[in-house]
Each structure stands twice: as C-alpha cells, then as structure tokens.
C-alpha cells in the first residue's frame, strides 16, 4: 500500500506517487506552487501504463513521498 509522507520536496528531489493507480517516480522541477509541485515523469518506467501525453505532471504535496533527496 502506498503511503505519502508529510515532507515537502525541493527541486531536484525524486518523489514517488500514484496516478491512475500506477506508481510513478519523477524529479521535482522548480515552481512557485504552494499546495503542489511540478514533476518531470519522462523517465518513469511505468509511464507506458498511463494515457499521459506530457512529460510533466502536477502532484499535491500531500500525495507523494520523497525517495531521494537532491544533494
């Protein structure tokens, strides 16, 4: 079961989230959104399981967990 965390990701961090019941990972991009973040999902392995035509998506801060911090 997927469980989001309460930490806010910063640009360059890798996050994991569910979209249409598919688990995806992506890199957080710089943005000025307060309640969400923009994520580059173009390199995600599970992207082919979605009908998503764009290399980015928006994810609310409450719906992801940080997998890897940008150093």
* Rounded distance between C-alpha atoms, residue 8 and residue 66, angstroms: 8
Q: What is the maximum alpha-carbon separation in the chain?
A: 32
Using the predicted structure, report yes or no on whether residue 71 has a pLDDT greater than 80.
Answer: no
pTM for the predicted model, two decimal places: 0.89
Q: How high is the pLDDT of residue 49?
A: 81
Tens digit of each residue's pLDDT (9 = 90 or more) over 8-43? 999 999 999 999 889 999 999 999 999 999 999 999
Q: Where are the domains of the chain?
A: 14-68
Q: What share of the chain is helix, strand, coil (3-state, %, to 5)?
A: 10, 40, 50
């Amino acid at each position: 079961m997927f469980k989001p965390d309460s930490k806010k990701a910063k640009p360059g961090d890798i996050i994991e989230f569910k979209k249409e019941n598919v688990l995806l990972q992506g890199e957080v991009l710089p943005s000025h959104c307060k309640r969400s973040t923009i994520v580059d999902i173009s390199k995600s392995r599970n992207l082919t399981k979605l009908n998503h035509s764009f290399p980015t998506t928006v994810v609310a801060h409450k719906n992801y967990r940080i997998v890897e911090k940008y150093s």
